[in-house]
Copies of this chain bind each other. A is one copy, B any other.
Amino acid sequence: MEKVSLARGTRDFGPAQMAKRSFIIDTIKKVFQQYGFQPLETPAMENLSTLQGKYGEEGDQLLFKILNSGDFLKNVNKKNIEEGNWKMVTGDIAEKGLRYDLTVPFARYVVMNRHEITFPFKRYQIQPVWRADRPQKGRYREFYQCDADVVGTNSLMCEAEIILMIKDAFNKLGILDYTIKVNHRGVLSGLAGLLSAAEKETSLFVAIDKLDKIGEQKVKEELIERGFDAASLPQLFEVLNFTGSTQNKINFLSSKFSNSEIGKKGLNDLNEVLNLLKNFGATDEHVELDLTLARGLSYYTGCIFEVKINRASVGSVSGGGRYDNLTAVFDSKEKSSGVGFSFGIDRLYDAMEELSLFPKETISTSKILIVHLDKESFHYSLKAAQTIRLNGIACEVYPDQTKIKKQMEYADKKNIPFVVVIGSEEIKTNLFTLKKMETGEQSKLTIEQIIKSIK
């Protein structure tokens, strides 16, 4: 036998995993659609000119490049090959690459179709992306991203709706214990202002991000080491250590940000989002202002989000924020401000598996297997199966005439919850045994009664 294997870092999704993944994806899709988001799909392959330079130098290295078709050596610069300069050779022999994320293809789509698109444009996109990362536990070379964005409006209603969509999705998935951490780029700037550290924002946020893990003392040491003024640190930690509701935190911060216009703007935005939530008839339950939250500092310009499932060992399962110029990477003139967020399908899957949150019904496809005892009942089964299917119930007939034990095993292995047994006696009386596989419970019913009881 030829040895066969998967490409490193990739996975098959068999029926059981697919059922669970579809449960997650279909649930999220439905929520997106309820809020007026429409689907977009872009190709797996993009021109390398579209992808390169968008993800930093490390990102460029992680792009999968596709070898040009035909004689790719024709236009290659021989000198680069002789010198082993593979980076230069890449440009000669590969002009396409695999999608690395969904944001850049989305931006390309918006730039290419800006005259046809109706703005504000609300799109969702659920597709795999590929990264030439070193595979390890929980990190794959092919994985799904699941993004939703609104482009072309500054309305904070969109931020409020993102919170609502996360709540809706989690509620439908059965995830009840989670925290939606929010923060604002302006608030982060306000914090930096407390230390007069506007120029060292990044190193400030990198340090305070570790507060949870290494504690106040170590963070202070690190900040001093990084050149922050020790005298101003107590002010910072007074703010970071303040406990209370999100509303209380906002009020407290307002008193500290009197000199920071951008800080005040951030607080106003957060306040407005909370008000809009109230207008929607929702509460700020699960929502928590987390001043240490700092995502994509160079990209996000307004509210930022990150969602954590509280008793699960995976990291954040959703995140996003407002940005000022999605299409800047392609077109510096057109401004397309928007706000977006994404769900991490793989992490949601792992968390739901860990917390046993998948409903049982996601696992099997068919509800009923019809088991038959002889040729006559096999033929009778077909008619019965068709009647059951016409009533919207997925149903199978074991395709071969074989021992009842083998047919039962098939139902068992495929997790088919009900078996209907048809033999000559059953055909005569028009009463069939319906067996519930989980409990072994049996009842004698007509096909119509079986349909009713399963429905």
Cα(A397)–Cα(B111), bound, Å: 25
Q: Is A423 an interface residue (CB 8 A)?
A: no
- Is A373 in the interface zone, CB < 8 Å from B? no
Number of copies: 2
Asked whether A73 and B67 contact (CB < 8 A) given A5-B112, A33-B394, A155-B399, the answer is no
The answer to whether the Cβ of A312 comes within 8 Å of any Cβ in the partner chain is no
User: Which single residue of chain B is at the shortest CB-CB distance from A65?
Assistant: B67
Question: Would you call A11 an interface residue if the criterion is a C-beta within 8 Å of the partner chain's C-beta atoms?
Answer: yes
Contact of A43 among B84, B113, B142, B400 (CB under 8 A): B142
A86 to chain B: which residues have CB within 8 Å?
70-74
Stretch in contact with the other chain, from A183-191, A218-226, A380-388: A380-388
Interface size class on chain A is 35 or more
Contact A281 B43 (CB under 8 A): no
- When distances are taken between beta carbons in the complex, the residues of chain B under 8 Å from A112 are 4-6, 12
CA distance A109 to B96 in the complex (A): 28
Q: Are A12 and B281 in contact (CB under 8 A)?
A: no
| Across-interface contacts of A6 in B (CB, < 8 A) | 43, 46-47, 112
Which positions in A face B, CB cutoff 8 Å? 1-2, 4-7, 10-15, 18-19, 22, 33-47, 49-50, 61-62, 64-67, 69-74, 78, 81, 84, 86, 89-90, 93-94, 96, 98, 108-109, 111-113, 116, 118, 120, 122-123, 128, 130, 132, 141-142, 150, 153-155, 157-158, 160, 164, 276, 279-282, 330-334, 365-366, 369, 379-380, 382-383, 385-387, 389, 392-397, 399-400, 410, 413-414
14 A-B residue pairings within 8 Å (CB atoms): A4-B49, A5-B50, A6-B46, A7-B45, A14-B109, A35-B395, A36-B366, A36-B369, A36-B395, A36-B396, A65-B66, A71-B84, A122-B396, A280-B385
